[in-house]
Amino acid sequence: MTNTAMIGHYHQLRIVEQVDGGLLLDAGGRQLVLREHLGPTSPPVGEMLEVFVYVDGEGELQATTQSPAASVGEVAVLECVATTRDGAYLAWGLPKDLYVPPAESDGPMVVGRRYVAAVLVDARGERLIGSTQVARHLDYDVSGIAIDQEVDLIVFGHIEAGVQVVVNRCHRGLVHDSRVHQPMPVGSKHRGFVRNVRDDNRLDIELTRRGAEGSIDAQAVILEALEQAGGSLPLHDKSTPEAIAQALGLSKKAFKRAAGGLYKARRITIAADGIRLTEE
């Protein structure tokens, strides 16, 4: 039986001996091998190393200084590199690919496609596996999350209410449909901000900051889009919300407020047919 407290996590372990082909590390009552090709070259005995612990193809604990795409309890976007009758395998940055059992997949997986997957320890505590049934494995302890906190998002689904996202690689969140003003396909990554922590510990997320800070962000978006477009955009007060969202990923309200601020600062001019950068 492997040590489930160690599998799939990073640990600071001391080098106790150099051996042929690698190093022996003190893992608290047992020793782990850090193979030569998975770690640094000739570090001194006694030095502490941060290593990731996983299970190799023979079921033995293995240490590496390589960093996988995710550790246990985290979600990442991973490419399927092989399929068999017994499941699929995802590349995640380690020599041993991450196995996805059929029971942890939403359906047949396709080699070459990328999937949003959670990393977990199997029911026996013997190996690391992946799951594309992400919602089942998210962490609902959000005590460390604050309102207005900036967070990283991975899109894992769409429902009538909006876009389902993984927040900071482990929590469940939703960007409400009325707040979505840009394409958010499954697997895409975005920056977001926590607007509300619900009673069920799910998070309401928005893609822009509130108040003056949000307006500053929107102004930066407009200026960048103008520069990329050669100095002018056919956007104005009469433009549809859809046209503004498609061009800038902003709501019409945010666009008007930001454009007004840029006009007052003499960064742009506003005409009936659109906005233009002012001449320096």
CA distances to 7, 52, 117, 127, 182 from 11, rounded to whole Å, are 10, 6, 23, 17, 39
- Cα separation, 85 vs 88, whole angstroms: 8
170: which DSSP letter? T
Please give the CATH number for the structural domain made up of 150-206: 2.40.50.140
* Spans of all domains in the chain: 10-64, 75-136, 150-206, 211-277
Residues 175 and 207 sit within 8 Å (Cβ to Cβ): yes
β-sheet bridge partners, residue 30: none
CATH class of 10-64: mainly beta
Q: Pick the range with the lowest mean pLDDT from 67-81, 108-122, 145-159, 251-265.
A: 251-265
Q: Are 32 and 24 in contact (CB under 8 A)?
A: yes
| Contact of 189 with 152, CB cutoff 8 Å | yes
pTM: 0.81
- Mean pLDDT to the nearest integer, 73-86: 96
Residue 218: what pLDDT?
85
pLDDT band at 2 (very low <50, low <70, confident <90, very high): low
Q: Average pLDDT, stretch 13-38?
A: 84
Q: Give the residue-averaged pLDDT of 263-279.
A: 88
* Distances from the Cα of 105 to the Cα of 51, 79, 134, 159, 170, angstroms: 29, 14, 9, 19, 18
Higher-pLDDT residue of 260 and 203 is 203
Tens-place pLDDT, residues 183-202? 999 999 999 999 999 999 99
Mean pLDDT calculated for residue range 274-280: 84
CA distances (Å), origin 59, targets 56, 83, 162, 279: 5, 20, 42, 66
* Residues 4/121, Cβ–Cβ less than 8 Å: yes
Provide the pLDDT for residue 215: 80
Establish whether domains 75-136 and 150-206 are of one fold: yes
pLDDT tens for residues 254-267? Answer: 888 888 889 888 99
Residue type, 222: I
Q: What is the pLDDT of residues 116-144, one digit of tens each?
A: 999 999 988 889 999 999 999 999 999 99
State both tokens at 123: 């029911």
Give, in words, the CATH class of 75-136: mainly beta
Residue 4 has pLDDT above 80, yes or no: no
Indicate if the pLDDT at residue 64 is higher than 50: yes
Which listed CATH number (3.30.420.40, 1.10.10.10, 1.25.40.10, 3.30.930.10) goes with 211-277? 1.10.10.10
Structure tokens at 203: 């998070």
Mean of pLDDT over the chain: 90
Determine whether 232 is exposed, middle or buried from the number of CB atoms within 10 Å of its CB (0-12, 13-18, 19+).
middle
Strands (E), the chain: 10-19, 22-26, 31-35, 48-55, 61-64, 75-84, 87-91, 98-100, 114-121, 128-131, 150-159, 162-167, 171-176, 189-197, 203-206, 232-233, 268-271, 274-277
pLDDT value of position 280: 62
Within its chain, how far is the Cα of 169 from the centroid? Answer: 5
Query: What is the per-residue pLDDT for 159?
Result: 95
Residue 1 confidence class, pLDDT cut points 50, 70, 90: very low
179: left (phi over 0), alpha (psi -120 to 50) or beta: alpha
Beta strands across the sheet bearing 274-277: 232-233, 274-277, 268-271
Q: Residue 126, Cβ neighbours under 10 Å: how many?
A: 14
